[in-house]
């Protein structure tokens, strides 16, 4: 047979074709309206600039929408979603080919293209859709992972897709059999249906079945198109859109400043406080639950669930009218849902949940459609803190201490310079020509255990011949805890004050051993007049090692794992520098934990949470300690004062299981410089207590 | 009810011990890097006043006598929702004695006008003299109740009368007193100072705040500027803490125990 003649008759056996066009028009109209009302509601949100830098956005779209960058991270989802997703694309292309052939009269459905693509490939991908739907159904009905949301809607979606695919194969088979299509075997599944049907059905029966089947298939397809925008299937449109309009900044730069002169409400009280992009986030959600499954607070059994927060806010959004309700102002039944206070109305936005977030942003990192859950939690906290002054007592103490003392540790007994006793460390006032400012941080200066880290760092810098200085008693908290707790006002005051001081001293380069300070300087101070070259001490020390200015002479024999601090790794993408330090200072290198690098699990200390006493059976640091113990490592290296104290507490609580030490990378490096440098590393493990404990 | 709450701004009492310095010439603490805060008992007094106003209505005026920086304490009080604020600027001796302070406060209160209740902290966290409240009552010629931690307005009285709960060495006393009255307030779990709302902090900087000079008060301003003549600090020093380590000796456990017991007896007798 000559392949070049291969084709099939479009709309064989079908009369009253106008009805199909009518169905299509109605279905497209209903679908368009569904998309319109969602978008119209977003337009009630505040401004956000998310269509700039198109080239970067397009790259993001290709990587994460087209190539499913994050979706495929999970094995089950990678399989079933890829099957359904690619099937949809291929079948849509195939339908478009039919449209071009039939409605535009351009003969494309011919020859090899017809056989290879339109028949064979389309059949294979159609089969993959069926397999994908079955895997998804088995997962939903039998495997039942905890992170999913079990709705009837989800099951109906699977049923609809399954029915569409099955009817498609049936009518293909009946057409092949009834027309004795010479090219039928190029469509393997359809051909199989044809073979079976022709052995049990007469040609007339097959024609009738085809006619009924075809209209059923059409009704299902058009019905599905009409219905989809009203369901989570809207992610087919809103997912890619959300990825295109995602934040292009590092996660560490996700929090927005507030214009205190203009803001009517501080923080987000109601939906009206969100930007259009926040509202679009709600509609993009596919209910996959990955955010909640990686949330440290949720993992240890706290009520916080980023997934539920997004879904509850979406449900609230869908209750809102698409235009401001004119009668809303005077209250009553007609009150605009857009103005309802979220905390108190939305169950998943309870204070208990909001005050469990460590702002680790594992949720943000996990989301396949780039929803930004964490900044919304901080927005809600801002309202509670600044408008209601309603937040946990121990956090209030930290904030009050920040206000009056410039550090969050109430009752700290050390001064800002005690850590440098016996070292030749100068203040910037004494050493104006210093090339680097060593930013000590409140944790480094005031918590006994962390002082040793700063000491090691300073000694390493000195050994490498770096001309550095400190601010000494003039140093004040960068404001990170204030900002994460939600006191943006206090943060702004501290940021402006610090930036002014640093600018007055002409500081250009900052090195700090605190990732929170690091993130704040790097991503947040530029908005408050402070632009500096900022390094985490691990980055700077790694550079000194590269330049040969630091040469380790001994190697640690122990098995070492590294815990990525959220604000260094996930928030700022620094993963390799601290590992490199461990690598060169130890004999065995880094044993990785299951959750490491971008998917690292928080120590539990971020977001102001180190100022909260967690319930004994729900402690994030103990869960992380469990993961550390599971590696079999003797030592866990860290790069953050909060991680250091949290993890020390965590491994100490699990002491009975195995003895694990916690050390900062700078301490490990300093120890490797000289076998006698053990002054730094003797006998800790029990003194990780914070002042005020 | 007209309530006047007196606030004192002091050096942060929570500075690290190693940062605490004394100026031997001035016989006073050196500020150094310490911040200035409102005396905690004064904040307890303000919180008690705010709660009283919530229940009984009225107006709260906050009053401070101190350096221009004391404006910060008053602004914070305004943020906590006090109604009015008055600062009597101290341009003389920075550590006037309690009598001088009481005279200034009394004069300022007379200038503010009629009052039902004057509230102060039981003592300040810097000098801890604990005398200003009583002396102020004397100056104003009204009764005073000290160490109060709760105040209620008595119902059904034709004349405004207050029920007060005061802490004593052995427990509590409940007393009733007619107004006008001066009370000194101590801390309790119910009068932990509230955190002001940020909105109110922002607004507090736009609120009026009266600043009076000593000369406006019709008192002997020169005597106040000199620091008063009621008492003077003769000497001031930071206690030196000594620790001594002795090792218990003895061959057997019994010997060690008796040696230990002997040493304990020795130390306790010496005390």
Q: What is A566-582 written as a DSSP string?
A: TTTTTTT---HHHHHHH
Does B176 map to a domain? Answer: yes
A655 band by pLDDT with thresholds 50, 70 and 90:
confident
Does one domain contain both B148 and B88? yes
Does one domain contain both B198 and B269? no
Of A387, A404, A488, the CB nearest to B12: A404
Residues A347-365, mean pLDDT to the nearest whole number: 97
Q: How high is the pLDDT of residue A555? A: 87
pLDDT at B17 over 90: no
The residue ranges of DSSP E strands in A532-664, in sequence order, are 533-536, 560-562, 590-591, 635-638, 661-664
A589 band by pLDDT with thresholds 50, 70 and 90:
confident
Does one domain contain both B73 and B160? yes
The answer to whether A444 and A641 are in contact (CB under 8 A) is: yes
Residue B44 backbone phi and psi in degrees, to 5: -60, -40
Contacts of B13 (CB under 8 A, 6+ apart): B37, B40, B125, B126
Which residues form the domain of B150?
Answer: 2-225
Does B232 map to a domain? Answer: no
Does one domain contain both B213 and B246? no
Q: How high is the pLDDT of residue A675? A: 62
Asked if A407 has any chain B CB less than 8 Å from its own CB, the reply is no
Of B18, B32, B199, the CB nearest to A386: B199
CA A111 distance to own-chain centroid: 47
The structure tokens listed for B227 are 């620091």
Of A260, A396, A418, the CB nearest to B18: A418
With CA atoms as reference, the chain B residue closest to A491 would be B198
Does one domain contain both B184 and B254? no
Task: Please judge whether B198 and A412 are an interchain contact, meaning their C-beta atoms are less than 8 angstroms apart.
Answer: no
Does B134 map to a domain? Answer: yes
Does B234 map to a domain? Answer: no
Which of B104, B119, B113 is CA-nearest to residue B216?
B104
Does B102 map to a domain? Answer: yes
Percent pLDDT > 90 in chain A is 89
SS3 percent helix, strand, coil of chain B, rounded to 5, is 35, 25, 40
Q: How high is the pLDDT of residue A609? A: 96
Q: How high is the pLDDT of residue A683? A: 38
Q: For the domain that residue B143 is a member of, what is the CATH number? A: 3.40.50.620
If one counts the domains in chain B, the total is: 2
Contacts of B269 (CB under 8 A, 6+ apart): none
Does one domain contain both B214 and B255? no
Does one domain contain both B193 and B257? no
Asked if A493 has any chain B CB less than 8 Å from its own CB, the reply is no
Does one domain contain both B163 and B110? yes
DSSP A354-415: HTT-----HHHHH-TT---HHHHHHHHHHIIIIIS--S-HHHHHHHHHHHHHSSS-TT--S-
A693 band by pLDDT with thresholds 50, 70 and 90:
very low
Q: What is the pLDDT of residues B78-114, one digit of tens each?
A: 999 999 999 999 999 999 999 999 999 999 999 999 9
Q: Please count the CA atoms within 13 angstroms of the CA of A505 that sit on its side-chain side.
A: 28
Does one domain contain both B256 and B191? no
B19 band by pLDDT with thresholds 50, 70 and 90:
confident
Of A396, A404, A413, the CB nearest to B17: A413
Which residues of chain B does A388 touch, with a Cβ-Cβ cutoff of 8 Å? 197
Task: Please judge whether B37 and A404 are an interchain contact, meaning their C-beta atoms are less than 8 angstroms apart.
Answer: yes
* Angle (deg, nearest 10), helices A203-227 and A188-200: 140
Q: How close is the nearest chain A Cα to the Cα of B47, in Å? A: 15
Does B231 map to a domain? Answer: no
Does one domain contain both B143 and B253? no
Comparing A209-213, A604-608, A688-692, B142-146, the range with the smallest average pLDDT is A688-692
Task: Please judge whether B198 and A266 are an interchain contact, meaning their C-beta atoms are less than 8 angstroms apart.
Answer: yes
A577 band by pLDDT with thresholds 50, 70 and 90:
very high
Q: What is the pLDDT of residues A233-260, one digit of tens each?
A: 999 999 999 999 999 999 999 999 999 9
A682 band by pLDDT with thresholds 50, 70 and 90:
very low
Chain B interface disruption, residue of A386, A392, A401, A446, most B CBs within 10 A: A386
Which residues of chain A does B40 touch, with a Cβ-Cβ cutoff of 8 Å? none
Which residues of chain B does A383 touch, with a Cβ-Cβ cutoff of 8 Å? none
Q: How high does pLDDT run on average in chain A?
A: 93
Task: Please judge whether A410 and B12 are an interchain contact, meaning their C-beta atoms are less than 8 angstroms apart.
Answer: no
Residues B154-182, mean pLDDT to the nearest whole number: 91
Does B15 map to a domain? Answer: yes
A684 band by pLDDT with thresholds 50, 70 and 90:
very low
What ipTM was predicted for this assembly?
A: 0.85
The answer to whether A666 and A537 are in contact (CB under 8 A) is: yes
Measured distance CA(A84)–CA(A284) in Å, rounded:
18
Residues A477-487, mean pLDDT to the nearest whole number: 97
Q: How high is the pLDDT of residue A492? A: 97
A677 band by pLDDT with thresholds 50, 70 and 90:
low
Does one domain contain both B81 and B192? yes
Q: How high is the pLDDT of residue A690? A: 40
Q: How close is the nearest chain A Cα to the Cα of B205, in Å? A: 13
Q: What is the pLDDT of residues A407-461, one digit of tens each?
A: 999 888 888 999 999 999 999 999 999 999 999 999 999 999 999 999 999 999 9
Chain A interface disruption, residue of B195, B197, B201, B203, most A CBs within 10 A: B195
Does B156 map to a domain? Answer: yes
Q: What is the pLDDT of residues A306-316, one digit of tens each?
A: 999 999 999 99
Asked if A266 has any chain B CB less than 8 Å from its own CB, the reply is yes
Q: Bridge partners of B65?
A: B88
Q: How high is the pLDDT of residue A656? A: 79
With CA atoms as reference, the chain B residue closest to A446 would be B16
Q: What is the pLDDT of residues B224-236, one digit of tens each?
A: 999 888 888 889 9
Does one domain contain both B143 and B9? yes
């Amino acid at each position: 047979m000559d392949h070049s003649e291969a084709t099939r008759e479009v709309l064989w056996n079908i009369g009253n074709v106008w009805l199909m066009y009518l169905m299509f028009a109605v279905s497209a109209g209903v679908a368009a309206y569904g998309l319109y009302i969602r978008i119209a509601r977003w337009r009630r949100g505040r401004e956000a600039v998310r269509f700039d830098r198109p080239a970067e956005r397009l790259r993001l779209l290709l990587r994460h929408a087209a190539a499913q960058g994050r979706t495929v991270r999970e094995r089950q989802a990678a399989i079933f979603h890829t099957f359904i997703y690619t099937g949809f694309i291929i079948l849509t292309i195939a339908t478009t080919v039919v449209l071009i052939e039939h409605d535009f009269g351009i003969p494309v459905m011919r020859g090899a293209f017809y056989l290879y693509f339109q028949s064979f490939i389309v059949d294979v991908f159609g089969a993959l859709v069926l397999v994908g739907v079955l895997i998804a159904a088995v997962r939903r009905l039998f495997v039942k992972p905890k992170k999913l949301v079990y709705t009837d809607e989800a099951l109906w979606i699977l049923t609809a897709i399954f029915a569409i695919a099955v009817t498609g194969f049936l009518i293909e088979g009946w057409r092949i059999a009834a027309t004795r299509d010479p090219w039928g075997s190029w469509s393997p599944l359809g051909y199989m249906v044809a073979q079976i049907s022709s052995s049990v059905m007469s040609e007339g029966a097959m024609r009738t079945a085809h006619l009924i089947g075809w209209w059923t298939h059409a009704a299902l397809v058009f019905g599905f198109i009409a219905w989809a925008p009203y369901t989570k299937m809207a992610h087919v449109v809103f997912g890619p859109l959300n990825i295109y309009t995602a934040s292009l900044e590092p996660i560490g730069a996700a929090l927005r400043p507030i214009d205190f002169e203009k803001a009517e409400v501080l923080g987000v009280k109601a939906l009206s406080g969100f930007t259009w992009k926040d509202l679009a986030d709600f509609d993009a959600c596919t209910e996959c639950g990955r955010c909640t499954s990686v949330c440290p607070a949720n993992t240890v059994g706290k009520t916080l669930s980023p997934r539920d927060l997004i879904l509850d806010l979406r449900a609230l959004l869908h209750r809102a009218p698409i235009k401001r309700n004119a009668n809303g102002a005077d209250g009553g039944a007609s009150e605009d849902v857009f103005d309802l206070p979220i905390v108190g109305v939305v169950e998943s936005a309870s204070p208990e949940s909001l005050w469990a977030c460590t702002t680790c942003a594992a949720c943000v990192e996990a989301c396949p459609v780039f929803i930004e859950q964490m900044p919304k939690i901080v927005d809600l906290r801002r309202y509670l803190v600044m408008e209601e002054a309603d937040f946990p007592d121990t956090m209030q103490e930290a904030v009050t201490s920040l206000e009056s003392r410039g550090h969050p540790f109430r009752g700290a007994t050390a001064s800002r310079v005690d850590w440098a006793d016996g070292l030749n460390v100068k203040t910037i006032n004494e050493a104006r020509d210093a090339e680097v400012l060593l930013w000590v941080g409140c944790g480094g200066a005031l918590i006994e255990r962390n002082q040793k880290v700063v000491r090691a760092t300073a000694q390493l810098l000195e050994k490498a011949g770096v001309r550095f200085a400190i601010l000494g008693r003039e140093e004040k908290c960068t404001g990170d805890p204030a900002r994460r707790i939600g006191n943006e006002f206090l943060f702004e005051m501290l940021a402006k004050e610090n930036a002014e001081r640093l600018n007055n001293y002409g500081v250009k380069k900052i090195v700090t051993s605190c990732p929170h300070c690091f993130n704040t300087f790097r991503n947040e101070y530029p908005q408050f007049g402070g632009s500096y070259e900022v390094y985490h001490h691990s980055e700077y020390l790694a550079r000194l090692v590269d330049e040969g200015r630091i040469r380790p002479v001994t190697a640690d024999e122990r098995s070492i794992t590294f815990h990525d601090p959220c604000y260094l790794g996930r928030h700022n993408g620094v993963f390799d520098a601290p590992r490199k330090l461990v690598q060169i200072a130890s004999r065995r290198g880094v044993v990785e934990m299951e959750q490491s690098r971008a998917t690292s699990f928080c120590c539990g200390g971020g977001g102001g949470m180190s100022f909260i006493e967690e319930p004994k059976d729900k402690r994030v640091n103990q869960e992380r300690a469990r993961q550390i113990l599971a590696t079999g490592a003797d030592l866990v290296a860290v790069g953050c004062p909060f991680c250091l104290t949290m993890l020390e507490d965590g491994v100490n609580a699990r002491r009975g299981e195995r003895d694990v030490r916690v050390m900062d990378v700078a301490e490990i490096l300093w120890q490797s410089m000289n076998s006698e440098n053990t002054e730094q590393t003797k006998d800790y493990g029990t003194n990780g207590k914070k002042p005020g404990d | 009810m007209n309530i006047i709450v007196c606030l004192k701004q002091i050096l942060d009492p929570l500075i690290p011990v190693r940062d605490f310095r004394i100026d031997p010439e001035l016989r006073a603490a050196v500020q150094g890097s310490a911040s200035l805060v409102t005396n905690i008992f004064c904040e307890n007094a303000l919180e008690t006043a705010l709660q009283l106003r919530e229940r009984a209505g009225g107006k709260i005026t906050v009053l401070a006598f101190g350096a221009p920086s004391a404006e910060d304490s008053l602004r914070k009080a305004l943020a906590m929702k006090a109604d009015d604020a008055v600062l009597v600027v101290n341009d003389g001796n920075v550590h006037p004695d309690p009598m001088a302070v009481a005279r200034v406060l009394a004069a300022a209160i007379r200038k503010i006008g009629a009052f039902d209740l004057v509230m102060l902290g039981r003592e300040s966290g810097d000098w801890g003299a604990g005398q200003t409240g009583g002396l102020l009552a004397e100056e104003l010629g009204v009764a005073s109740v000290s160490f109060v931690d709760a105040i209620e307005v008595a119902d059904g009285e034709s004349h405004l009368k207050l029920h007060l709960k005061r802490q004593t060495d052995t427990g509590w006393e409940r007393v009733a007193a007619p107004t006008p009255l001066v009370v000194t307030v101590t801390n309790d779990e119910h009068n932990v100072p509230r955190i002001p709302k940020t909105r109110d902090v922002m607004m507090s900087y736009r609120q009026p705040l009266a600043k009076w000079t000593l000369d406006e008060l019709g008192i002997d301003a020169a005597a106040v500027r000199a620091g008063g003549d009621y008492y003077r600090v003769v000497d001031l020093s930071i206690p030196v803490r000594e620790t001594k380590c002795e090792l218990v000796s003895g061959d057997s456990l019994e010997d060690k125990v008796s040696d230990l017991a002997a040493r304990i007896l020795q130390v306790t007798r010496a005390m």
